[in-house]
Amino acid sequence: MFDPDNPPIHALLDATGLYCPEPVMLLHNKVRDLVPGGVLKVIASDPSTRRDIPKFCLFLGHELLEQQERDGAYLFWIRKKIE
């Protein structure tokens, strides 16, 4: 079971202060470098990421493990698909 308070994180992307489309562009590059099955935590401040990141995962086949909003930040935990 996934525990967002103690997840196995393999990489972190802090996209705070960036606006669409930059967070998803950076996410695409970061996921590409991640090992298959690896978990990436994304921190964003742009409200559009609540829509864009789940669609990104669905379109490319990655698993969105968790999505939260905390203290004005949007947090996402993504598991890279195993090819």
In the set 11, 18, 20, 75, the catalytic residue is 20
Distances (CA, A) of 17 to 38, 40, 67: 25, 19, 18
Provide the pairing of β-strand 39-44 with 63-70: unpaired
Distances (CA, A) of 63 to 6, 18, 38, 56, 66: 18, 23, 10, 10, 9
* 57 classed as catalytic: no
At 3, list the tokens. Answer: 């525990």
| Residues forming the active site | 20
